[in-house]
Homo-oligomer: A and B are copies of this chain.
Amino acid sequence: MDDPRPCRDPKEQHAWAATAAGTLRVLEGKWKIVIIVQLLASDEPLRFSELERRIPGVTQKMLIQQLKELEKDGIVIRTLYPQVPPKVEYSLSELGRALTPSFQALVEWSYLKERRLEGCSVA
């Protein structure tokens, strides 16, 4: 495994850590990870109601709130079709899709952690 550190100079490391942590704060929020994973897992853009259906337990308020923040941060794209009844689709931006490798790695890690918790052989 490669050295994760872009630089060994302590002051640079510090700046690096701070930047990373700051940027990653856009992923904070109880439902953002699930939303992104659902959009990653889907071939096509998802309608608001479809997201709501796929994310059990979320309320409309929370869903719209987190989607708005993700949109503001340039991660998801909202497309409104001016129809009656209204139709809105959400998809990942290029920046959002660039999260793919990170999420792949995190999902693998989550499997590792789950295996550790259960202490059993899922494989």
Closest B residue by C-beta to A34: B21
Q: Is the CB of B40 within 8 A of A107?
A: no
A100 / chain B contacts, CB cutoff of 8 Å:
1, 4
Among residues 1 to 54 in chain A, which have CB atoms less than 8 Å away from a CB atom of chain B?
A: 1-2, 4-6, 13-14, 16-24, 26, 28, 33-34, 37-38, 40-42, 54
Q: Is the CB of A5 within 8 A of B41?
A: yes
Q: Is the CB of B74 within 8 A of A19?
A: no
In addition to A16-B41, A20-B33, 9 A-B residue pairs with Cβ atoms within 8 Å of each other are A5-B40, A14-B54, A20-B110, A21-B34, A23-B109, A23-B110, A98-B109, A102-B105, A102-B106
Secondary structure at the A interface, as helix, strand, loop or mixed, is helix
| A23–B33 alpha-carbon span in the complex (Å) | 11
Closest B residue by C-beta to A18: B34
29 example contacts (A-B, Cβ-Cβ < 8 A) are as follows A2-B104, A4-B40, A4-B41, A4-B104, A4-B107, A5-B41, A13-B41, A14-B54, A16-B41, A17-B34, A17-B37, A17-B38, A17-B54, A19-B110, A19-B111, A20-B106, A21-B33, A21-B34, A22-B110, A23-B109, A24-B33, A74-B116, A95-B112, A95-B113, A95-B116, A98-B112, A102-B102, A102-B105, A105-B105
